[in-house]
Amino acid sequence: MAQQAEISRSVLSKYLARDAGAPANPDLRSICAISDVLGIPPAFLLMRPSDWAVMATAMSIFAESREVDRFTELMQGLTSAGIHGPIESSRAAVDVARVMKLFDARPWSELDVFEADQRIERNIKTTSAVLPLGELSNKYLPMLLTLCALAGRTATQNSRPNNA
């Protein structure tokens, strides 16, 4: 595998060992080369266990939400209209989060509702703005917006307010 990825065996073994005491720090070229050899997206090599949990949760919520009329109507409208840029995807992801009730549980008791909602909305918008919408079919839109909404919401839970 090291030969196919054109990296040294020591770099490969250090990366694959995932030793918490001496974490690997491969460059992007190495990550891409390893992922190409493995036949997986480079992002999979960078994901932490918590990232995998967010993805699995989003898939579960998406499956459950498909039974909710309001969610289905929103997704049908977004899929047929299409989304063509980061501002539209940000707004759509916030709409998805509202339908999924991701604003209902506030992450910090010491924050007022307005500030908590602002943080949640900002993180959801930031997460969804990076989608390469021009390069993807609209059929992926519902799942990707669900993932972005949940990832943005989770980022809010994992961060702390400045005054905490």
Round to whole Å and give the CA distance between 57 and 153.
12
Residue 79 lies in a domain: yes
Q: 164: pLDDT confidence band, cut at 50, 70 and 90?
A: very low
Q: 76: pLDDT confidence band, cut at 50, 70 and 90?
A: confident
| pLDDT value at 106 more than 90 | no
Residue 163 lies in a domain: no
Residues above pLDDT 70, as percent of the chain: 84
Closest CA to 99 of 163, 153, 164, 26: 153
Mean per-residue pLDDT over the chain, rounded: 81
Number of compact structural domains in the chain: 2
Looking at the structure, tell me whether residues 31 and 102 fall in a common domain. Answer: no
| pLDDT value at 47 more than 90 | no
Residues above pLDDT 90, as percent of the chain: 7
Looking at the structure, tell me whether residues 107 and 139 fall in a common domain. Answer: yes
Looking at the structure, tell me whether residues 104 and 27 fall in a common domain. Answer: no
Q: 23: pLDDT confidence band, cut at 50, 70 and 90?
A: low
Looking at the structure, tell me whether residues 96 and 143 fall in a common domain. Answer: yes
Round to whole Å and give the CA distance between 82 and 77.
8
Report, as an integer, the average pLDDT of 71-97: 84
Looking at the structure, tell me whether residues 68 and 103 fall in a common domain. Answer: yes
Residue 89 lies in a domain: yes
The full DSSP string for 114-148 is HHHHHHHHHHHHHHHTT--GGGS-GGGHHHHHHHH
Looking at the structure, tell me whether residues 73 and 150 fall in a common domain. Answer: yes
pLDDT of residue 22: 65
Looking at the structure, tell me whether residues 113 and 36 fall in a common domain. Answer: no
pLDDT of residue 103: 77
Looking at the structure, tell me whether residues 136 and 59 fall in a common domain. Answer: yes
Instruction: Tell me the residue range of the domain where 136 lies.
Output: 49-158
Is residue 103 within 8 A of residue 124, CB to CB? The reply is: no
Q: Which residue has better confidence, 63 or 82?
A: 63
Q: Which residue has better confidence, 91 or 109?
A: 91
Looking at the structure, tell me whether residues 55 and 73 fall in a common domain. Answer: yes
Report, as an integer, the average pLDDT of 55-74: 88
Round to whole Å and give the CA distance between 13 and 146.
36
Please tell me the least confidently modeled range out of 59-63, 68-72, 113-117, 149-153.
Answer: 113-117
Looking at the structure, tell me whether residues 107 and 39 fall in a common domain. Answer: no
Residue 8 lies in a domain: yes
DSSP for residue 123: H
| pLDDT value at 7 more than 80 | yes
Looking at the structure, tell me whether residues 62 and 122 fall in a common domain. Answer: yes
Residue 91 lies in a domain: yes
Looking at the structure, tell me whether residues 24 and 66 fall in a common domain. Answer: no
The full DSSP string for 74-87 is HHHHHHHH---SHH
- What's the N-to-C CA distance of the chain in angstroms? 47
Residue 104 lies in a domain: yes
